[in-house]
Structure 1
Amino acid sequence: MCELYELCGSSPELVFSPYCWRVRLALAHKGLDFVSRPVRFTDKEALAFSGQKLVPVLRDDATTVHDSLAIFHYLDERYPESSLLGGALGESRLRLLDQFIAQDLRPALVRLLVPRVLACIDPLDRDYFRQSREKSLGMSLEAFADRDAGQAQLARALQPLDAMLKGQPWLDGAVPAAADYLIGGFFFWAWTLGEQPWPEDSPTGDWFRRLLAFCEERQGPVQRATHR
């Protein structure tokens, strides 16, 4: 059985990394059972076997793979039924889509979710999280977090998703596949942290409800943080 090393908060049941959620959704797509191996931000030794320090890490018998897109590729090679990527062309398009996420969707959600991450992680991780993120951002978390700016940026990022989802149920067409999971991981990030910063009554809102139901049907209820 596969083992998925994924980021957790103060509770091991609260897994919230968007990149780990990509892999959870891909495993649901493939119909594969897995064992969750929750790790905290500072649990670097738990990942030493993978030769690097970041989640997600998938261990499948003697094979170890890290990075969500690399895991998608591995799952399609190892378990070719119910393709995620649809071949090399699909994989190339997915990498382009990942650039859109990095440029538009992720920055918007980071502004909205940084305070929630800080509140939900283990107290032992908070100094590491603050210091590493403030070094990257060049400012304090409090100065960076801006709900109004994040909400406005997210509204712009959702426009192409709404436009596509008006005419089809999934980003990949009639059935969900890699594009849905690549973007959906970031929606699960917000959802598991107790947020839903997108409109409920929108094509994107309807799509996320379908994706959540798809996931829970295969993997059980999704643990959410409570507001403090």
Structure 2
Amino acid sequence: MAAQAEPEIVLYDLACTKNVCFSPVVWRIRLMLNYKHIPYRTIFLEFPDIEPTLKELGLVLGESASGSKYKYTVPAIQHVPTNTYMMDSVTIAQFLESTYPDPPVPLTSELGREIEAKVRAVVGPAVHKSLMPREIGILSPRAQEYFRRTREASLGHRLEDLLDPDKEEQGWNAVGDGMRAVGELMRTHKADGPFVLGARPSYTDFFITGSLQSARVVDEGVFQRTIKYPGYEEIYEACLPYMEKKD
């Protein structure tokens, strides 16, 4: 058996009791690493350990490449050859694309920007509300305490209140047409291939697949509910070859 290549990237990921990646934003970077065959190893961090760990690595808060104010969060990476640390998925994606340009991953496109914006606005809220109260079930007791305290402070009520079957069903029904429309956008170039831009994946495909895989790890039912609309499952299945390394 050939020896594994020494890792060029150390990926800081979010820990869960299943010992696999489940963060949608970390999956975007993991898919990119896998697609480009960049050797890497993973360090999983519990929710309460993210900020102190990243501070200790010397990362400082500023403004992300996406224009939002940073908070200490994963994904973060160390580029081992240059001993460079960075966080924010957009910043990391730009670095990987410039440092490892082959095979290329288009980071932006007019269609991709439209899909990502509509996923955030239309699909995101319904999926998020269904996943958040279930996500706590795959966290360690320590991480559960942190997750509950921070999320319930933001929500103003208990996580379990999101699991009311009638309200949850109403939420999904309300976004059905929007999810179908976004799925049709994903199929714009279906004649050329299964990805958003046709034959080869772009960052938007990893954005979509990362969200779907996150849902699948947390709750199969939420995943199945999402992929019933045309477009979503095709992209997810096309990205399966780049999802084999998930720990």
TM range (shorter): 0.7 to 0.9
From 119, 122, 140, the counterpart of 1:122:
140
Gaps of 5+ in 2: 1-7, 62-71
**Equivalent in the alignment of 1:205:** 233
Separation in structure 2 between the aligned mates of residue 206 and residue 14 of structure 1, nearest angstrom: 23
Q: Offset of 1:45 from its aligned partner? A: 2.1
- Cα separation, partners in 2 of 1:60 and 1:93, compared to 1, 3 Å: farther
- Cα separation, partners in 2 of 1:191 and 1:157, compared to 1, 3 Å: farther
Q: Secondary structure at the match of 1:55?
A: coil
Gaps of 5+ in 1: 224-228
**Equivalent in the alignment of 1:47:** 54
**Equivalent in the alignment of 1:171:** 196
> Counterpart of 2:74 in structure 1: which amino acid?
V
**Equivalent in the alignment of 1:66:** 87
- Structure 2 residue 243 is the aligned partner of structure 1 residue 215: yes
Q: Secondary structure at the match of 1:16?
A: coil
**Equivalent in the alignment of 1:16:** 22
Separation in structure 2 between the aligned mates of residue 173 and residue 213 of structure 1, nearest angstrom: 17
- Cα separation, partners in 2 of 1:183 and 1:199, compared to 1, 3 Å: closer
From 162, 165, 187, the counterpart of 2:183:
162
Aligned length: 215
Q: Offset of 1:178 from its aligned partner? A: 0.8
- Structure 2 residue 97 is the aligned partner of structure 1 residue 76: yes
Separation in structure 2 between the aligned mates of residue 36 and residue 200 of structure 1, nearest angstrom: 32
- Per-residue deviation, residues 113-147 of structure 1 (Å, max 9, x unmatched): 11221111011111211121122223321223453
**Equivalent in the alignment of 1:112:** 130
Q: Secondary structure at the match of 1:173?
A: coil
Separation in structure 1 between the aligned mates of residue 118 and residue 217 of structure 2, nearest angstrom: 22
Q: Secondary structure at the match of 2:32?
A: helix
**Equivalent in the alignment of 2:66:** none
> Counterpart of 1:117 in structure 2: which amino acid?
E
Q: Which moved more, 1:198-207 or 1:111-120?
A: 198-207
State TM-score, norm by structure 2: 0.77
**Equivalent in the alignment of 1:2:** 9
- Cα separation, partners in 2 of 1:92 and 1:173, compared to 1, 3 Å: closer
Q: Offset of 1:158 from its aligned partner? A: 2.6
Q: Secondary structure at the match of 2:22?
A: coil
Contact 2:195 2:201 in 1 (8 A): yes
Separation in structure 1 between the aligned mates of residue 229 and residue 181 of structure 2, nearest angstrom: 16
State TM-score, norm by structure 1: 0.82
From 151, 173, 188, the counterpart of 1:152:
173
Contact 1:172 1:178 in 2 (8 A): no
